[in-house]
């Protein structure tokens, strides 16, 4: 009886959320996963992305309903903050589990 | 497992970044200075109230003017209150148990004056809990150093006889206040020098 686990692992990879399966977006999601909220500058510094890249990736995550944008004032200065939605949190958790399971199935 | 470690690392780096400005230590210094001023002096009890009312908003305002324009703004998730409460209760219990064991070994467990003399050690150990909590979150060496300094200065100030009500505790609080203000002040100066105000903050590129 052949062991199908590695093939199953590879099949699981095909179930990955394609939107999250992108290094820049994954970085943004990982940072927002451990923070309550973060503004554009904080994410820019932490991820090392360019302004344009960060803007476009955040917009895609926002369109997918994974990230919500909030405008607020900090000491009379307008700040745009980002926060993971419950849907985004679920998607990121599911992504992590799928990747870990798939890699486990593939083994060493 | 590695992925979990990676998230912990991101979390720790975020904590470290948020506390890099040294203003947390400055705030701790102010609180300790008020403790040094007001402990055992009812005429100064009002300063506790001023600290509670002014310190939090003041710190936020200062960060809004100096820190966020440099590193951006981020909020850490609220701690699980039950877990935090349990942790604080266990730490306080452990500290009292430790001091009780030390006094029992000296044959002074029921001596009221011995407990009073041990007050700086008690205060140092209790305060060390706060610094240790911060150190574990940020991994910053200066937070570990303040943890050790709090315990060492508290234990050392248990020995000398200083005249006045709670004088030893007040001296301990003053020593720690000056240390926190110096450490925090230096960190703040370095932070301002090394981290310029960002263009993104000025334009809020988001």
Which helix (H) or strand (E) element contains residue B193?
helix B167-194
Instruction: Provide the pLDDT for residue A76.
Output: 77
Greater confidence (A95 vs B206) lies with: A95
What would the DSSP string read from start to end of A25-91? Answer: HHHHHHHHHHSSEEEHHHHHHHH---HHHHHHHHHHHHHTTSEEEEEEEETTEEEEEEEE-HHHHHH
- Percent of chain A past pLDDT 70, that is, above it, reads 90
Q: Are the beta carbons of B135 and B25 closer than 8 angstroms?
A: no
Between A46, A79, A99, which is nearest B73 by CB? A79
Instruction: Provide the pLDDT for residue B160.
Output: 82
Between B3, B6, B74, which is nearest A38 by CB? B74
Residue B11 lies in domain: 2-197
Measured between CA atoms, the residue of chain B closest to residue A59 is B206
- Contact list in B for residue A103 (CB cut-off 8 A) is none
- Contact list in A for residue B3 (CB cut-off 8 A) is 96, 99-100
* pLDDT band at residue B5 using 50, 70 and 90 as cut-offs: low
Q: Is the pLDDT of residue B201 over 80?
A: no
pLDDT in tens, B157-181: 988 888 777 888 999 999 999 999 9
- Contact list in B for residue A37 (CB cut-off 8 A) is 73-75
Q: Is residue B206 part of a domain?
A: no
As a whole number, mean pLDDT of residues B147-154 equals 96
Instruction: Provide the pLDDT for residue B203.
Output: 66
Q: Is the pLDDT of residue B113 over 50?
A: yes
pLDDT in tens, B76-100: 888 889 999 999 999 999 999 999 9
- Contact list in B for residue A42 (CB cut-off 8 A) is 17, 71-74
Instruction: Provide the pLDDT for residue A61.
Output: 96
Q: Do B68 and A74 touch (CB under 8 A)?
A: yes
State the ipTM, two decimals: 0.80
Q: Is the pLDDT of residue B206 over 50?
A: no
Average pLDDT for chain B:
90
B73, B15, B10, B76: which is closest to A41 by C-alpha? Answer: B73
Q: Is residue B202 part of a domain?
A: no
Instruction: Provide the pLDDT for residue B1.
Output: 45
How many folded domains does chain B comprise? 1
Determine the distance in angstroms separating the CA of A30 from the nearest CA of chain B, rounded to an integer: 7
Q: Is residue B204 part of a domain?
A: no
Q: Do A35 and B65 touch (CB under 8 A)?
A: no
Q: Is the pLDDT of residue B74 over 80?
A: yes
Instruction: Provide the pLDDT for residue B204.
Output: 58
Determine the distance in angstroms separating the CA of B26 from the nearest CA of chain A, rounded to an integer: 20
| A interface residues, B as partner, C-beta within 8 Å | 30-31, 33-46, 51, 55, 58, 69, 74-75, 77-82, 96, 99-100
Entry pTM = 0.84
Q: Do A40 and B3 touch (CB under 8 A)?
A: no
Q: Is residue B205 part of a domain?
A: no
Q: State the fold for domain A5-103.
A: Arc Repressor Mutant, subunit A (1.10.10)
Q: Is residue B120 part of a domain?
A: yes
Determine the distance in angstroms separating the CA of A7 from the nearest CA of chain B, rounded to an integer: 22
Q: Do B74 and A35 touch (CB under 8 A)?
A: yes
Q: Is the pLDDT of residue B150 over 70?
A: yes
Between B69, B75, B198, which is nearest A36 by CB? B75
Instruction: Provide the pLDDT for residue A71.
Output: 86
As a whole number, mean pLDDT of residues A9-13 equals 73
| B interface residues, A as partner, C-beta within 8 Å | 3, 6-7, 10-11, 13-14, 17, 61, 64-65, 68-69, 71-78, 198, 200-201, 204-206
B32, B30, B29: which is closest to B170 by C-alpha? Answer: B32
Instruction: Provide the pLDDT for residue B116.
Output: 86
Greater confidence (B41 vs A87) lies with: A87
Sign of the C-alpha dihedral, residues A30, A36, A40, A42? negative
Determine the distance in angstroms separating the CA of A24 from the nearest CA of chain B, rounded to an integer: 15
Q: Is residue B22 part of a domain?
A: yes
- Contact list in B for residue A99 (CB cut-off 8 A) is 3
Average pLDDT for chain A:
87
Burial of B36 (0-12, 13-18, 19+ CB in 10 A): buried
pLDDT in tens, B12-64: 999 999 999 999 999 999 999 999 998 888 888 888 888 888 898 899 899 99
Q: Is residue B35 part of a domain?
A: yes
pLDDT in tens, A17-67: 889 989 999 999 999 999 999 999 999 999 999 999 999 999 999 999 999
Among the ranges given (A85-89, B57-61, B64-68, B197-201), the one the predictor scored with the smallest mean pLDDT: B197-201
Instruction: Provide the pLDDT for residue B166.
Output: 81
């Amino acid at each position: 009886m052949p062991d199908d686990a590695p093939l199953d692992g590879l099949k699981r990879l095909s179930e990955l959320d394609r939107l999250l399966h992108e290094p820049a977006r994954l970085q943004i999601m990982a940072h927002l996963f451990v923070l309550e909220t973060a503004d554009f500058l904080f994410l820019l510094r932490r991820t090392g992305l360019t302004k344009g890249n960060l803007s476009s990736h955040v917009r895609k995550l926002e369109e997918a309903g994974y990230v919500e944008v909030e405008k607020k004032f900090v000491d009379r200065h307008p700040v745009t903050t980002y926060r993971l939605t419950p849907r985004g949190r679920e998607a990121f958790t599911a992504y992590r589990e799928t990747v870990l399971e798939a890699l486990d199935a593939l083994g060493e | 497992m590695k992925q979990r470690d990676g998230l912990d690392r991101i979390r720790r780096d975020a904590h470290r970044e948020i506390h890099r400005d040294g203003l947390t230590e400055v705030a701790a210094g102010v609180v300790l200075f008020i403790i040094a001023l007001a402990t055992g002096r009812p005429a100064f009890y009002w300063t506790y109230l001023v600290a509670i009312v002014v310190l939090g908003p003041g710190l936020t305002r200062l960060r809004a003017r100096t820190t966020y324009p440099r590193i951006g703004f981020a909020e850490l998730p609220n701690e699980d209150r039950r877990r935090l409460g349990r942790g604080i209760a266990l730490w306080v219990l452990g500290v009292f148990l430790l001091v009780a064991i030390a006094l029992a070994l000296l044959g002074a467990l029921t001596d009221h004056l011995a407990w009073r003399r041990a007050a700086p050690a008690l205060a140092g150990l209790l305060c060390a809990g706060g610094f240790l909590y911060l150190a574990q979150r940020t991994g910053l060496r200066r937070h570990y150093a303040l943890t050790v300094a709090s315990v060492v200065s508290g234990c050392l100030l248990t020995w000398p006889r200083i005249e006045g009500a709670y004088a030893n505790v007040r001296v301990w609080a003053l020593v720690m206040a000056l240390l926190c203000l110096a450490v925090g002040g230096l960190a703040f100066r370095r932070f301002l020098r090394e981290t310029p105000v960002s263009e993104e903050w000025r334009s809020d590129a988001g």
